[in-house]
Amino acid sequence: MTNVRSLSAPSSASAALSHAHRHRLRAVAPDEVPPVAELLHSGATWLPAPPSALPVLPGQPPMVGYLVLVPAERPAEPAADPAAAHGDELVRIDPEQRTARLEGRLLDLTYLEFELLAHLVTHPHRVHTRDQLVTTVWGYGHVGDGRTVDVHVARLRRKLGAEHRGTIVTVRRVGYKYVPTT
């Protein structure tokens, strides 16, 4: 029997609780029912994910996950606040629209190029090792090495053009950092 739960509108007490706990993760006992319902939108349905859909980590207990189904007729989210875009005068990243602009000109980036540039621009002057970038941008399950990062950085530099390619600085034998122009 599949465990399926549908939710009605949350009470004000549960809404306050969900806001307070939205960004907290913790382990739950095998027989404990996690408070997932408090964290979901009204009308959402959740059910246990099939074990085949979850990653298996060697030496770790099996993971438990849930699929969340949200009704399509849910009202659209409010328009993104332009202030939500981040970056500097040179490169602006809009995570809501998934766009990057160089001096106001839209850059044509692949998914991973966008993720890499957004991560670097969000953390200017911070040195990122290749391993950190692989984990952050490609994800924990990615099988690859630092050359993958090197290739994507080279592509980003080409797309930034000769004038701005120096904003992504190589830190020898370590990784990369984004240095905005002043």
Q: Are residues 119 and 147 in the same domain?
A: yes
Give percent of the chain with pLDDT exceeding 90. 34
Give the strand order in the sheet containing 66-69: 5-6, 45-48, 66-69
Q: Are residues 37 and 101 in the same domain?
A: no
Among the ranges given (59-73, 85-99, 130-144), the one the predictor scored with the smallest mean pLDDT: 59-73
- The residue segments making up the domain with residue 147 are 82-178
Q: How far is CA 155 from the centre of its chain?
A: 21
Q: Are residues 63 and 108 in the same domain?
A: no
pLDDT confidence of residue 26 = 63
Element (H, E) at 130: helix 130-133
Domain membership of residue 76 (yes or no) is no
Q: What is the dihedral of CA 20, 26, 28, 33, to 10 degrees?
A: 20
For the chain, what is the domain count? Answer: 2
d(CA 22, CA 38): 9
Torsions phi, psi of 113, nearest 5? -65, -40
Among the ranges given (20-29, 52-61, 151-160), the one the predictor scored with the smallest mean pLDDT: 20-29
Q: Are residues 116 and 155 in the same domain?
A: yes
Among the ranges given (3-7, 54-58, 129-133, 169-173), the one the predictor scored with the smallest mean pLDDT: 3-7
Q: Are residues 92 and 36 in the same domain?
A: no
87 three-state secondary structure = strand
Mean pLDDT over 154-182 rounds to 92
11 three-state secondary structure = coil
Domain membership of residue 77 (yes or no) is no
Q: Are residues 64 and 90 in the same domain?
A: no
pLDDT confidence of residue 99 = 92
pTM: predicted TM-score of the whole model, two decimal places: 0.54
| Domain boundary residue, one of 69, 99, 125 | 69
Domain membership of residue 147 (yes or no) is yes
CB 93 within 8 A of CB 87: yes
Domain membership of residue 16 (yes or no) is yes
pLDDT confidence of residue 24 = 54
